Chains A and B, each alone.
Chain A
Amino acid sequence: MTRRWLPVAVAAAALAAVPWLGSETLVQYGINAILLATLAQGWNIIGGFTGYPSFGNSVFYGLGTYGTAIAMAQYHLPFGVGLAVGAVLGAACAVVFGLPILRLRGPYFAIATLGLSAVMSAIIANVEIAGKNIGLILPLFRGDLLFYELSLGLLVLATATVAWVSRSRFGAGLVAIRENEDAAQVMGIDTTRWKVMALTLSAVFSALAGGIHAYWITFIDPASAFDSTLNVKMVIMTVFGGPGTVLGPVVGAFLLSAISEVLASNVSTVAGAFYGLVIVLAVVFIPRGLMDVSSGFRRMGWRYFADNVRRHRL
């Protein structure tokens, strides 16, 4: 087992050294990519393992953002406290709304979570203490190193959690729910409780990522905090990398971020279109994610891609 984790540990150490080895721009992109990877991992728990495709993780992210921002900007509390407030808000939301919404299946669950995100954004835009639609300004902190290492730490924590989930009874239960929820229930798994737990875990990571992002970027408003395209990005990155795997979301997030940032900084005007094209091609040719490509390639070589199409077309 140590052999498998060694390359991962080396990679993590290399990432941690980036602020000293790489440029400032790289640190910027790094923070962004790492936060996205954390979000993807969070989504992985509820979407990848449990099979409930949430389009509302942006709610938890947004609540984390606002929890931290309100604590710091309105009450002048320290960053750590702010993060904790955000995490608690996210978790509470997951429990309160998770119970009714997790009764829905498949696309209806997705739509309900999307609706939840939109509602929350609209509510916050009317709340005085949250600065309404104008948003909030946080104190300025000149220390990207802190944000970088903190984000990396969060990602490592999230990945470790997913690794634990993948080996635990809890995780096996989640997979059982994904494959056949009714059968799982019959077998005695308390599906409601476990689904809510998965959602809450997912929410905590999303909220913490949101809190870090808020302090890093110093200005938040409802549109950017509850951004639904962010949610779509999380989903795409996880699916691209491999849902239900441990490293898939991280790989997917880093790769897609890199592509998107390189495009945005060099060919910036066509960046958007290329990104869309990459997504379309990925869904057609690697629908089970990048992690599956290596094993699929070993089995079938180049025919793997054509086979994917054959299997999923009409």
Chain B
Amino acid sequence: MGIPDPAPAVLLLGQILVNGVLLGGLYGLMALGMGLVWGVLNIVNLAHGSLIMLGGYCVYFLYTGAGIDPFAALPLAMAAMFCFGYALQRFLLSLIIRSAMLNTLLITFGLDVMLTFLAQLAFSADLRTINPPYAGDNFDVLGVTIPVAPLAAFAVAVLLAAALSAVLARTRTGRAIRATAQNLTAARLHGVNPRRIYALTFGAGAALAGAAGGLYGMVSQITPYVGVTLTAKSFVIAILGGLDRPLGVVVGGVALGVAEAATALYLDPTYTNVISFGLLVVLLVARPAQLFERA
């Protein structure tokens, strides 16, 4: 090859960037559902991580039990999680939707506790991994290793974000969702059934969480307790990205992924949380204007 080897430091940086971007895409997907539900329904879903976890188990059992390839199992898991989310919103969350925002936080917290417990009861605390034969594959580009599974996860994340964006902008249902988010009364006047729209939206959020869970199981592992940290991460990214702007959320995820990877290398891995949450606080404090429109 005519291209000379780049200096080791540059290679390392390149690798870090690749790691950060690919992981960040998956983070973005995780946050997508939370941002959607928050932006449209004004529900801050503390059980979001549990939905990711349940989606992960769906794909795990479809793969190990029925032998379905994880990527093929994703749509199935998403459908299952959609139904679950729809029911959850329709029959439980709709009961408190007009009470103080704080109450949605609390009820979703309670839900999270219950879902985690039920998962432990049903699935035990064993570590589960979704390990298709190609999970460890990778290929080299200019000395930088590109892992296949995270790359595919990234692609899925971008795809789903683009799809969500398109649905919100171009379809009738999407416009109805956006209208409901902006002005419930006006939307009602135009014939929108808010019950259905809200349930649809929450279902969609759960479906996206489910997809993220399945992908997460491929790059990491699934236990009943993975939900909590994932909820926290999703918070940070949803806010970074602007809640119900799907592509913004994915970009936010990527930004966080790169920031964490860089911190781990150039500072120390023990500072990654300082950076991610510090970023969150700084952002919130420094740019309140953009967020006030939604308050």
Contact = CB atoms under 8 A, between A and B. Distances in A.
Contact of A112 (B95, B106, B194, B281): B281
* Chain A residues touching B, majority SS: helix
A276 B284 contact: no
A314 interface: yes
A100 B110 CA distance: 31
B217 to A, nearest CB: 23
Contacts of B118: 273
A279 B110 contact: yes
Given A235-B102, A276-B112, A313-B97, A105 B273 contact: no
Contacts of B96: 283-284, 287, 312-313
A122 B239 CA distance: 20
Contacts of A137: none
Interface residues of A, number: 45
Nearest to A240: B106
A236 B106 contact: yes
Given A115-B236, A270-B117, A280 B277 contact: no
Nearest to A55: B105
Interface string A26-54: 00000000000000000000010000010
B142 interface: no
A97 to B, nearest CB: 8
B191 interface: no
Contacts of B195: 314
B97 A280 contact: no
Contacts of A101: 281, 284-285
Contact of A126 (B114, B271, B295): B271
A239 B291 contact: no
A119 B281 contact: yes
A123 interface: yes
Contact of A314 (B44, B94, B285): B94
Contacts of B280: 111-112, 115
Contacts of A276: 109-114, 117
Interface in B234-292: 235-236, 239, 268, 270-274, 277-278, 280-281, 284-285, 288, 291-292
Given A309-B95, A314-B194, 13 more contacts: A53-B101, A110-B44, A115-B278, A115-B281, A116-B277, A116-B281, A126-B271, A235-B102, A236-B109, A275-B113, A276-B110, A283-B107, A313-B97
16 contacts: A47-B102, A104-B284, A107-B38, A107-B105, A108-B284, A108-B295, A111-B235, A119-B278, A232-B106, A273-B113, A273-B117, A276-B114, A279-B109, A280-B92, A312-B99, A312-B103
